């Protein structure tokens, strides 16, 4: 009996490898590629980016809310019906959720910084819309004139008379300066803090947006400087006493937080779903007007294909637009407000970059796998970076390799570069993972205009949004319509990917040992990858009906086959 079991495992492992080679994943995704590619032109996505990026957006403000209403308008044009008006037979529905906010919203109106005695404007919000710290208060209409003093260190704050002065530092954080404003009578602050990956000495006018903690009892203001403005101000200070005039107009007012949820109801398994999420807040074009626009065209195309009888979706497809992480986490937690369970979650964040201008590349940020613990070989973290992870934090699942394979197929078709990075967090994929829902991120990095006021429409590529949107839809359609054939192909894919990864890791481990590395540590890496892929194989059971014992047994055997191939140093 035992020998028969082992022979079954070996036979299945060979069969799946052969199947993966002879019947690649594209055989189940190609019909969807043929369906989507002619439809996804990127026009609606680009048009939406152009509308959204004109606004400085945080939850509750004019730009955020206008974006919400624009999304609703386009959804209705595509055939989505407001939930409160929908009939039971309507498959395309949407709602706008309204919630009270814990604090007022904010938006900039205008701002300028001038050197007294000079006609030159050092900064203007007309060209640097990120110059005003979020939640800064307004100055009087005539502005504030004051002497600028340079703060070299934290210690200087306690030994210097700050009353009536404007603080300037490229060494001390605003959080440190803020107490001096409220406690020692300083007028306000200028700061400079631009990461090196933004190439500030090249992009001399860029300002990365910054924010204050809202404090209605002690209003304050601060200005973030560009490299160019910082250098000019320091040069003037080197000559002697410097006075400046600051004029700021901002609006702080009570509002409500809005979230858009659109659903395409599944025809056979409506209580299972895939959720796409794109956040509206943040004032850039690539970040994240491109996610908003790409997802809107995805929703429009899906409705059109179904209405024309070219597509059916067995499971439910959901599109979510809101406040980053907050809206997604709440959607996951508030189970009473949604009918379907969430099987998969995918975040669209910075998905439209013209990389010839911005730099970097398109990335798929993987669910936590061992490359987030041991980042080596071709695996590479982005400059955004990630905290070290542990074996216990791994999320073994087929979704990583499935999505990567689909996107690589679009990359090969369109001559488009697709890369991956280990898990780093920080976007709408994290709430899914926290809730033990398979989730990953579609994005770009490094971007030399990331979070700066130079992240505008001229840095956006319609072609990139077309590629991302096409591959995202094909991935979704394949999973939402997954059947026994899909299961077979994903089993073959995971078997092949496990073998490739283990062979690669063995070579890396042998090299490490030859260079003096620990054999025990290297064996731990190999064992962790083996466990990861055997459990990723096991995760495919989520696609199989409980009564299909034959397929469930085959997956168990495939899982054991991966374990049986575990390399030993």
Give the pLDDT confidence score for residue 10 in this predicted structure. 46
Confirm or reject CATH 1.10.4100 for domain 2-22+484-564, answering yes or no.
no
**Per-residue confidence band for 534, with pLDDT thresholds at 50, 70 and 90:** very high
Give the pLDDT confidence score for residue 444 in this predicted structure. 98
**The 341-348 sheet, strands edge to edge:** 81-82, 92-100, 256-264, 315-322, 269-279, 341-348, 439-445, 361-365, 418-421
Q: CATH 3.40.630.10 residue ranges in the chain?
A: 37-101+259-480
Q: CATH 1.20.1440 residue ranges in the chain?
A: 2-22+484-564
Segments in 162-226 forming alpha helices (H): 174-184
pLDDT digits (tens, 9 = 90+) for 155-168: 888 888 899 999 99
Residues 491/16, Cβ–Cβ less than 8 Å: yes
DSSP 527-565: HHHHHHHHHHHHGGGGGS-TT-HHHHHHHHHHHHHHHHT
- Euclidean distance between CA atoms 397 and 538, whole angstroms: 8
pLDDT digits (tens, 9 = 90+) for 23-60: 579 899 999 999 999 999 999 999 999 999 999 999 99
425-454 mean pLDDT: 97
CATH (residue range 105-253): 3.50.30.30
Which CATH code of 3.40.50.150, 3.40.800.10, 3.30.70.260, 3.40.630.10 fits the domain covering 37-101+259-480? 3.40.630.10
- Percentages helix, strand, coil for the chain, rounded to the nearest 5? 45, 20, 35
Residues 93/82, Cβ–Cβ less than 8 Å: yes
Average pLDDT, the chain: 94
Residue 17 has pLDDT above 80, yes or no: no
* Range in 44-53, 118-127, 168-177 with the lowest mean pLDDT: 168-177
- Euclidean distance between CA atoms 290 and 53, whole angstroms: 9
* Three-state secondary structure call for residue 180: helix
The first and second tokens of residue 288, run together, are 């994240």
Q: CATH 3.50.30.30 residue ranges in the chain?
A: 105-253
The pLDDT > 70 percentage for the chain reads: 96
């Amino acid at each position: 009996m035992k020998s028969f079991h082992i022979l079954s495992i070996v036979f299945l492992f060979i069969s799946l490898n052969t199947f993966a080679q002879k019947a690649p994943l594209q055989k189940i995704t190609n019909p969807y590629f043929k369906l989507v590619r002619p439809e996804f032109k990127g026009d609606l996505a680009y048009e939406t980016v152009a509308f959204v990026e004109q606004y400085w957006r945080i939850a509750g403000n004019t730009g955020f809310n206008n974006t919400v209403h624009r999304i609703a308008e386009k959804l209705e044009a595509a055939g989505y019906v407001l939930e409160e008006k929908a009939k039971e037979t309507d498959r395309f529905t949407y709602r706008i959720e309204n919630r009270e906010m814990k604090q007022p919203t904010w938006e900039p109106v205008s701002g300028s910084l001038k050197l007294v005695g000079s006609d030159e404007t050092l900064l203007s919000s007309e060209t640097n819309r990120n110059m005003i710290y979020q939640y800064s208060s307004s100055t009087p209409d005539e502005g504030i004139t004051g002497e600028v003093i340079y703060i070299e260190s934290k210690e200087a704050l306690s030994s210097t008379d700050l009353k009536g002065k404007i603080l300037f530092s490229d060494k001390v954080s605003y959080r440190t300066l803020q107490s001096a404003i409220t406690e020692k009578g300083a007028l306000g602050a200028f700061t400079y803090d631009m990461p090196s990956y933004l190439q500030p000495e090249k992009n001399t006018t860029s300002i990365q947006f910054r924010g204050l903690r809202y404090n209605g009892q002690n209003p304050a203001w601060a200005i973030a400087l560009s490299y160019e403005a910082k250098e000019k101000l320091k040069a003037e200070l080197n000559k002697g006493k410097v006075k400046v005039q600051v004029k700021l107009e901002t609006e702080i007012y009570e509002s409500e937080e809005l979230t858009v949820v659109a659903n395409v109801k599944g025809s056979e398994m409506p209580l299972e779903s895939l959720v796409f999420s794109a956040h509206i807040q943040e004032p850039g074009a690539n970040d994240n007007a491109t996610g908003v626009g790409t997802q809107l065209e995805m929703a429009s195309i899906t409705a059109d294909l179904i209405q024309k009888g070219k597509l059916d979706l067995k499971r439910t497809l959901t599109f979510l637009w809101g406040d980053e992480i907050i809206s997604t986490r709440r959607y996951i937690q508030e189970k009473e407000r949604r009918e379907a369970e969430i099987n998969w979650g995918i975040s669209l964040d910075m998905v439209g970059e013209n990389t010839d201008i911005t730099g970097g590349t398109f990335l798929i940020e993987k669910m936590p796998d061992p490359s987030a613990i041991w980042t080596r070989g071709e695996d590479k973290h982005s400059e955004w970076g990630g905290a070290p992870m542990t074996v216990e934090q791994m999320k073994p699942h087929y979704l990583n390799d499935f999505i990567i394979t689909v996107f690589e197929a679009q990359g090969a078709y369109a001559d488009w570069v697709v890369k991956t990075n280990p898990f780093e967090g920080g976007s709408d994929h994290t709430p899914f993972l926290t809730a033990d829902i398979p989730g990953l991120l579609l994005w770009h990095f490094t971007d030399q205009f990331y979070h700066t006021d130079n992240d505008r429409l001229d840095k956006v590529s319609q072609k990139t949004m077309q590629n991302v949107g096409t591959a995202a839809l094909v991935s979704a359609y394949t999973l939402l319509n997954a059947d026994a054939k899909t299961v077979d192909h994903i089993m073959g894919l995971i078997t092949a990917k496990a073998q490739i990864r283990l062979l690669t890791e063995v070579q890396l481990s042998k090299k490490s040992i030859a260079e003096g590395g620990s054999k025990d540590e290297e064996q731990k890496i190999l064992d962790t990858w083996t466990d990861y892929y055997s459990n990723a194989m096991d995760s495919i059971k989520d696609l199989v009906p409980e009564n299909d014992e034959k397929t469930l047994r085959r997956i168990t055997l495939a899982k054991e086959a991966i374990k049986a191939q575990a390399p030993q140093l």
